[in-house]
Structure formats: C-alpha cells, structure tokens
Structure 1
Amino acid sequence: MAEEVEPSPLTQSDTISPPPPPSYVEVKCTSSGNTRRFAAGTDAGFAVRLINRKLKKTMMVVSHIEAVKDGEEPIAFGPNSVLINFGNGWMLQTVTDSGKFNFLILSLNL
C-alpha cells in the first residue's frame, strides 16, 4: 500500500503575484513627441492645461486627450473625465485643435 503524502502548504514566497498596476497614466503629446506622466485620478482638463503651458512657445494648442487603439474608434476624454488606461494596445494621446488656430496664425501673417 502506497503511503499518501499531504502536499505542503504554499508559503508567500512560493506564489507569484502580478505586479501592482502603475499609480500613473502616460499621455503622449503628439505635438512635441514627449510622453507626460500624470498621477492616477488626474482629470483630463488639468492634464490639457499643463501640457498647453509646456507648449506655449510652439503655438500649438491641445484641445483634448483621447485613447486610441489600432482598428478601434478613439475615446475622447472630456475636461472633467479621469484619465485611465484602457489596457493592452490602448494609448492616451493629445489632440491639437489645428483648424481655427492655424487659420488665425495664417491670417495674421498675411
């Protein structure tokens, strides 16, 4: 008769747990090419104002932030929306309001 062996309980060091999610979100600035990090829970309006302050000398204006993924419709963040990462393949990026602003610059240069 074979002797039954009871499995030993797993210790905390034996288990592998996934890393905790980052406590920040990254937003790629399409104008400058820089990636900015914001604390989790940051609202999109604050992020847009901060990015525009950094872009002040470039004459580009960020209108809003959106989440993009190949093959998917972009998801726009309103000014009071909390920035979140939607997961694998999704990226947050800025959108510039190039329509009226560029027209105004061209008009002033004529």
Structure 2
Amino acid sequence: MKLIFAIVSSDDSSVVSTALTKEGFSVTKLATTGGFLMSGNTTFIIGTEDEKVDQVIDIVAQHSKKRTQMVPSSTSYGVGLYSSFPIEVTVGGATIFVTDVERFEKV
C-alpha cells in the first residue's frame, strides 16, 4: 500500500479531483499555500495499492498544467531605495510524494 501526496495549483484542483474520483480513487483535499509565491495550492492525499501508483501519477500529470505568470519582484539599490518590477515565473504542474504505508485500517 502507498500513500500519495500530490500538490497542485488551486486552478487545477477541481479537474484533478474529478478525474481521480471518476477512476475510483478515494481522495482527501487540503487547502495549502506555497512558500515561494504564497499562492493557493491543493494537496491531495490518496491511498492506493502499489500497482495503481503510476495510474494516479498519470491522472495528476494530465490535469496539472504548467503555465507562466508575471509576479511582482523588488530589488534593493543598497541606499534604502527599492524598485518593483514584474518577473515571469512558471507555475502549475504538480509535486508528488509517494510513501510506503506500514498499516492501513478503515474503521
């Protein structure tokens, strides 16, 4: 048995959730916040058999699209002056962790 943590953009959350449940996977959703852009993410917790891990990863990958976004950035000129300018960053996609489950019970 494996436990999968899949962190996806909140923009992709509903389509990922729908696709996973449509394929029969039980999914728990947690609202999370990323550390770099401080933007909303969704972390999915999915427990599944070892042989279905690749199927889960494929579903998440298909529905988590990378895209670019302009975000404000600031730079310091060393004398107390700051300038703000936009930079382009890649957002979206998914970060997936797969861990072994030593024991599983549903009570």
Indicate the TM-score class for this superposition, using the shorter chain for normalisation. under 0.3
Structure having the higher Rg: 1
More strand by share: 2
TM-score (norm 1): 0.25
